[in-house]
Amino acid sequence: MPDIVKPSVRTNWSDTMQLKLAGDGRAEELALHAIGPVGLDDTRRRYQGRLPVNLSGLLRADLVGVESNRVALLVGVPDAIEQMEVSAAPTPQAKASGDLLFPVNEPVLSANEPMYFVVGGNGGLSARFQLSFKYRLFDSDSLPVSWLPQLGNLYFGYTQNSLWDLGANSAPFRDTSYRPSFFWQSASRGEGGMPAVLRAGYEHESNGKDGVNSRSINTLFVQPVWRAGFSDGRTFIFAPKVYGYLEKSDNPDIQNYRGHVDWNFRYGDDEGWLLAAQLRLGSTGHGSALLDLSYPLRQPLFARTGGFVHFQLFNGYGETLLDYDQSHGTQARVGFSIVR
DSSP character at residue 302? B
Reply yes or no on whether the pLDDT at 132 is more than 60.
yes
Q: Which one has a higher pLDDT value, 163 or 91?
A: 163
Q: Which of 138-142, 227-231, 309-313 has the lowest mean pLDDT?
A: 138-142
**What CATH number does domain 109-339 carry, 2.60.120.890, 1.10.220.150, 2.60.120.10, 2.40.230.10?**
2.40.230.10
**Model confidence pLDDT, tens digit, residues 172-210:** 999 999 999 999 998 877 778 899 899 999 999 999 999
- For the segment 16-26, the average pLDDT, to the nearest whole number, is 75
Cβ-in-10-Å burial (0-12, 13-18, 19+) of 331 comes to: buried
Reply yes or no on whether the pLDDT at 102 is more than 80.
no
Please provide the average confidence, as pLDDT, over all residues in the chain. 84
Question: Domain limits of the chain?
Answer: 3-88, 109-339
Q: Tell me the residue type at 71.
A: V
**Model confidence pLDDT, tens digit, residues 142-164:** 889 889 988 989 999 999 999 99
Reply yes or no on whether the pLDDT at 280 is more than 60.
yes
Degrees to nearest 5, angle at CA 37 with 34 and 43: 80
**Model confidence pLDDT, tens digit, residues 281-299:** 999 999 999 999 999 998 8
**Model confidence pLDDT, tens digit, residues 37-69:** 665 556 677 777 777 766 666 777 778 777 667
Q: How far apart are CA 21 and CA 188, in angstroms?
A: 33
Alpha helices by DSSP H, 72-210: 80-88, 143-147
Would the pTM count as exceeding 0.85?
A: no
- For the segment 60-88, the average pLDDT, to the nearest whole number, is 62
Q: How far apart are CA 270 and CA 232, in angstroms?
A: 12
Q: Which one has a higher pLDDT value, 293 or 73?
A: 293
**Model confidence pLDDT, tens digit, residues 308-328:** 999 999 999 999 999 999 999
Pairing state of beta strands 216-229 and 241-247? antiparallel
Residue 191: the pLDDT is 78
Residue 54: the pLDDT is 66
- For the segment 23-40, the average pLDDT, to the nearest whole number, is 70
Reply yes or no on whether the pLDDT at 104 is more than 90.
no
- b/e sequence 267-295, b meaning 16+ C-beta within 10 Å: bbbbeeebebebbbbbeeebbbebbbbbe
